[in-house]
Amino acid sequence: MTNTMTKNENVQPFLKWAGGKRQLLPEIRKYIPSSMNTYYEPFIGAGAVLFDLRPQKAIINDVNIELVNVYTVIRDQVDELIADLKKHQNNKEYFYQMRDLDRTTTYDGLSAVEKASRIIFLNKTCFNGLFRVNSKGQFNVPFGQYKNPQIVNEQVLRACHDYLSKNQVTILNQDFEAVVEGAKSGDFVYFDPPYDPVSNTSSFTSYSLDGFGKRDQVRLRDLFVGLDKRGCKVLLSNSATEYIKELYKDYRIEIVSASRNINSKATGRGKIEEVLVMNCELKAQTF
């Protein structure tokens, strides 16, 4: 059965992330099973739950190929990544040069390390830490004008490298259904999908080209049901909309409150209600 690693406080998210779970970890921990075989997280995002739990065997995934590349580079080429990050400049002209690379043929010639370095730089220096792309898949968040952003957090990057490289962590870039095809009884699956918007104007343009609409939410619910029938332990986060509560009405739902400070509009920030949905009474993990 999978156990968790000794705590290293530097194993933590290396990116700012809209909808990141760091502040909800005290609530999420209550519903983590005390033992598991393989940990699955099909919507990894910034990885707050993964890095808090630190399972020895995990399969993580994201539809965003840029994000998946960052995880892979941190695992396999952290020295080269840190060296490349140190070249970046925190000024507006340089920011837009880097941001607009994905609009040119130059981008295709960048190495995996250079692409990962670019994404971390943009994330640390763009407005409000958003990761957002336009309809062509091009990063389109403006310069954040921060005086002293921490572009190179070497301690965190090396700690994440140690965790990812010293454990059985598989990193995928697939559809969420494909990720859990092999999940079976005794495995634990945590879903943190793009949230159902609380209003028609509350959600900014997706961090991936495909978006995540009502049809995807239903597909995810059906997958949740299927995993439950397989004997997997399943936990899901989402917004506390009536739509989501109706979708998961046959399961235990806990309402939790979270502050959202990363949003393209000031009106989208502040306290909001979210749900934690689970398929069983999970025995809390000891932390």
Q: Which fold has domain 71-154?
A: Adenine-specific Methyltransferase; domain 2 (1.10.1020)
Question: What does the block give as tokens for 223?
Answer: 């997958």
Question: What does the block give as tokens for 13?
Answer: 């998210």
- List pLDDT tens digits, range 126-174: 998 888 888 888 899 999 999 999 999 999 999 999 999 999 999 999 9
pLDDT average, residue stretch 112-128: 96
Superfamily for domain range 22-64+168-278: Vaccinia Virus protein VP39 (3.40.50.150)
Residue 264: Cβ-neighbour burial (10 angstroms; 0-12, 13-18, 19+): middle
Per the DSSP assignment, residues forming a β-bridge with 233 are: 188
Q: Domains of the chain: which residue ranges?
A: 22-64+168-278, 71-154
pLDDT average, residue stretch 165-193: 97
Record the pTM: 0.90
Residue 43: Cβ-neighbour burial (10 angstroms; 0-12, 13-18, 19+): buried
pLDDT average, residue stretch 83-98: 98
57: Cα separation from own chain's centroid: 18
71-154 shares the fold of 22-64+168-278? no
Question: Is residue 14 scored above 90 in pLDDT?
Answer: yes
